[in-house]
Each structure stands twice: as structure tokens, then as C-alpha cells.
């Protein structure tokens, strides 16, 4: 049956037109859907006979909270969701002084094969639909009984390889009739899909672009982030420059600190030279060790030295504060350990 969740206002208008209904029905139903109402009969401004007719021909989908893990250290909560086809995905809720952030997944599993990441271990299963991305935010909002202020697409999956559904999702988040979240409060994180970055730039929306750089040279990045063999660092940085010109937004570079791999002074200097003059910010992330990978996180001292070198080159840099480490909040970890448990 046709799912009305995830449709744009325009698509809904066409749908209601085809039923011989006025266009404003689209706005009414759209509003209800993102208030979390799935039952047409509970949409109080929809006439009873129309509600009954809708029930027969279409539906409003909903993903279910399957498990919930609350951190004892901070207010981080990790959710596992059960999708209609039985797949499991994860999302994370974090509290900051500026508001409540939800980190959503964009795919089930991941195909990118990054050397340090848990999401890719079980391979790629499928893209998420726009409705499934929206539902992660909606379900968490309902569970918290509080509005989500920021959304980051940094969960499992590569969002720019699910471009059309991603864009519909971001537009619904932005819609005044739905979540009314400004684009400035949304981030999209990519491992460096160059055509996707250029396409996103063309939208000219003030979305924050995060790029998972993790290495200052192609030989090292080829090993850590294999997609680099297809889109090497110079092409990636060119696309980032284009993004900055088009959106006038500063790009964030994520840099995981892995002991003995990418955390040397030489790496810091190379990185600084690479990024000098670019409107950007560097986020140093202490690696979250993944059971199946034998990488270790850099020591605090190493991270500090690395940070100071970047600063001395005038590069804006912060060390990401860790949240929810006790609940395996890093990319794909929770789903992974859950699936392992089920197998046993």
C-alpha cells in the first residue's frame, strides 16, 4: 500500500488531486504525519468519509524503537530501530548546551570499507527511505517529549550515496509544516563522494558539510578510507572549495586519532599545509576502538600536540568531546554488537 510518509508536499498535492480532493488536504495531512499521527481518523480536520477512503488505499508507515541504551556518564541515548522488513538500524541522541542533537543513519550497513569503522563490517544491506530517516527523528522526539534542534547525518551509511532520499529528508526537516529545523542546524557527513559534494553544493543550502578526512596524504588515506582511491585528496578538496563558494559555509574535516597510524607531528604539519587558507574547521576525534579492528586511540598527549600544531598554522581546531562511550555510541558499533548477540 502506498506510504504517505516521506512524500513531499508537492507529491501529496498530486495525490490528493488524483482523488478529486482540494490541494490544501496535502498540507493538512503532511502536518499530521510529522506530528506523529498515523491514523487518518485521528486527523481531526479531515472529514470522516475521506479518512475512511484513505485508510483503504494508503497508509502512514512507522519504524519501531526496538532497544534503548542510556549512558550513565552523560545524557546520550542510543536507539536501535526495527524496520518493516526486519532490518535493524541505530541512532544516537546527544545533549549539548545549544540543544538536542540526533545522529541518524542513512543506510543499513555500509559499503565504504573504512578500516576503523564498525558499520561496514557486515557489508551494505540497503538504502534507507526518506520516511525511515524522518522516523528516527520523530520517534526520538516522541520518546523524549521534547523537540530535536539539530540533526547530523553521521550514523551508519554514506548519505551522499543515497542522495535523493537524503535531500527529501532534509527538506522535510526544514519544512515549517513539519520540523521547522533550519538548514544551519543540519550536518551531512561524507567519506568524500566528490560528485555528491558537488551536487549538494548546487542546492545552495546552508547545510554543514563534514568530510571524514582522517589522513593528510593519499597513500595513508587509501588504506584508511578506500574510497580515496576513486576520489583522491586533491579532487576532494577541490569539491570542498566549490561547496564553500556555493554555500558560504565553513567545511568541517573530521580526523580520527589512531595511535601510531595518523597521529604523528609530520601528519599534523602535512594536514595543516593541506588545509591552510581554506574556510574550514578540524574536528579531532579520539578513535573509538572497535572489537574486530586492532586500532588503538592516540594518547591524550599526542592529540594535544597535534592540535597545537594545527593551531600554530592558524587552523581552527577542536578535540571532539566523547559522548556515550559506555554504550558503544560510535558509528555502527551498537547494531554490530547486537547482531553478533543474535547470531550466538
Question: Rounded distance, CA 267 to CA 257, Å?
Answer: 11
Say which residues have a Cβ less than 8 Å from residue 42's Cβ, sequence separation at least 6.
32
With binding defined as CB under 6 A, does residue 285 bind ligand SAH? yes
Name the active-site residue from 114, 191, 280, 331.
331
Instruction: State the nearest-atom distance from the C-beta of 59 to ligand SAH, in Å.
Output: 30
Instruction: State the nearest-atom distance from the C-beta of 114 to ligand SAH, in Å.
Output: 6
CA-CA-CA-CA torsion sign (299, 302, 306, 311): positive
Cβ-contact 262, 274 below 8 angstroms: no
With binding defined as CB under 6 A, does residue 186 bind ligand SAH? no
Closer Cβ to ligand SAH, 6 or 332, answer by number: 332
Cβ-contact 188, 153 below 8 angstroms: yes
Q: Which three cell numbers stand for residue 109?
A: 550497513
With binding defined as CB under 6 A, does residue 21 bind ligand SAH? no
Count CA within 13 A, CB hemisphere, residue 26.
17
Angle of CA points 96, 99, 104, to nearest 5° = 85
Name the active-site residue from 90, 132, 165, 254.
90
Closest to 324 in 3D by CA, of 77, 65, 90, 143? 77
**By rule CB under 6 A, what string of x and - marks binding of each residue 108-147 to ligand SAH?**
----x-x-xx------------------------------
Instruction: State the nearest-atom distance from the C-beta of 279 to ligand SAH, in Å.
Output: 19
**One of 268, 271, 290, 334 touching ligand SAH (CB under 6 A):** 290
**In the annotation, is 331 catalytic?**
yes
**By rule CB under 6 A, what string of x and - marks binding of each residue 34-73 to ligand SAH?**
----------------------------------------
Closer Cβ to ligand SAH, 154 or 201, answer by number: 154
Closer Cβ to ligand SAH, 89 or 287, answer by number: 287
Instruction: State the nearest-atom distance from the C-beta of 158 to ligand SAH, in Å.
Output: 4
With binding defined as CB under 6 A, does residue 92 bind ligand SAH? no
Instruction: State the nearest-atom distance from the C-beta of 147 to ligand SAH, in Å.
Output: 24
CA dihedral 55, 60, 61, 65 (to 10 degrees): -110
**By rule CB under 6 A, what string of x and - marks binding of each residue 142-161 to ligand SAH?**
------------x---x---
With binding defined as CB under 6 A, does residue 181 bind ligand SAH? no
Closer Cβ to ligand SAH, 99 or 289, answer by number: 289
With binding defined as CB under 6 A, does residue 263 bind ligand SAH? no
Instruction: State the nearest-atom distance from the C-beta of 43 to ligand SAH, in Å.
Output: 35
With binding defined as CB under 6 A, does residue 287 bind ligand SAH? yes
**Binding positions for ligand SAH, rule: CB under 6 A:** 112, 114, 116-117, 154, 158, 189-191, 212, 254, 256, 285, 287-288, 290, 330-331
Catalytic residues: 90, 331
Amino acid at each position: 500500500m502506498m506510504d504517505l510518509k516521506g512524500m513531499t508536499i508537492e507529491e501529496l498535492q498530486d495525490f490528493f488531486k488524483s482523488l478529486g480532493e482540494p490541494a490544501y488536504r496535502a498540507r493538512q495531512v503532511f502536518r499530521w504525519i510529522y506530528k506523529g499521527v498515523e491514523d487518518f481518523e485521528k486527523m481531526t480536520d479531515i472529514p470522516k468519509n475521506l479518512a475512511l477512503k484513505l485508510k483503504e488505499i494508503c497508509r502512514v508507515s512507522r519504524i519501531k524503537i526496538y532497544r534503548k541504551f542510556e549512558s550513565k556518564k552523560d545524557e546520550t541515548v542510543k536507539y536501535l530501530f526495527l524496520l518493516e522488513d526486519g532490518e535493524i538500524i541505530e541512532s544516537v541522541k546527544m545533549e549539548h548546551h545549544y540543544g538536542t542533537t540526533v545522529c541518524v543513519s542513512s543506510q543499513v550497513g555500509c559499503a565504504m570499507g573504512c578500516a576503523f569503522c564498525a558499520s561496514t563490517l557486515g557489508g551494505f544491506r540497503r538504502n534507507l527511505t526518506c520516511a525511515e530517516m524522518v522516523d528516527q527523528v520523530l520517534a526520538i522526539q516522541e520518546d523524549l517529549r521534547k523537540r530535536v534542534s539539530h540533526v547530523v547525518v553521521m550514523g551508519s551509511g554514506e548519505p551522499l550515496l543515497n542522495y535523493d532520499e537524503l535531500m527529501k529528508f532534509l527538506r522535510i526537516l526544514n519544512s515549517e509544516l513539519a520540523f521547522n529545523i533550519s538548514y544551519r542546524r543540519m550536518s551531512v557527513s561524507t567519506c568524500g563522494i566528490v560528485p555528491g559534494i558537488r551536487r549538494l553544493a548546487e542546492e545552495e543550502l546552508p547545510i554543514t558539510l563534514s568530510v571524514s578526512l582522517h589522513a593528510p596524504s593519499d597513500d595513508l588515506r587509501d588504506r584508511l578510507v578506500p574510497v580515496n582511491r576513486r576520489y583522491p585528496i586533491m579532487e576532494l578538496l577541490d569539491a570542498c572549495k566549490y561547496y564553500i563558494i556555493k554555500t558560504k559555509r565553513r567545511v568541517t574535516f573530521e580526523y580520527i586519532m589512531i595511535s601510531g597510524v595518523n597521529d604523528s607531528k609530520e601528519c599534523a604539519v602535512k594536514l595543516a599545509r593541506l588545509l591552510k587558507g581554506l574556510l574550514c574547521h578540524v574536528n579531532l576525534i579520539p578513535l573509538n576502538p572497535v572489537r574486530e579492528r586492532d586500532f588503538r586511540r592516540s594518547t591524550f598527549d599526542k592529540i594535544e600536540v597535534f592540535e597545537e600544531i594545527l593551531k600554530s598554522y592558524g587552523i581552527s581546531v577542536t578535540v571532539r568531546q566523547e559522548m556515550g562511550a559506555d554504550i558503544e555510541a560510535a558509528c555502527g558499533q551498537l547494531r554490530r554488537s547486537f547482531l553478533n548477540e543474535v547470531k550466538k
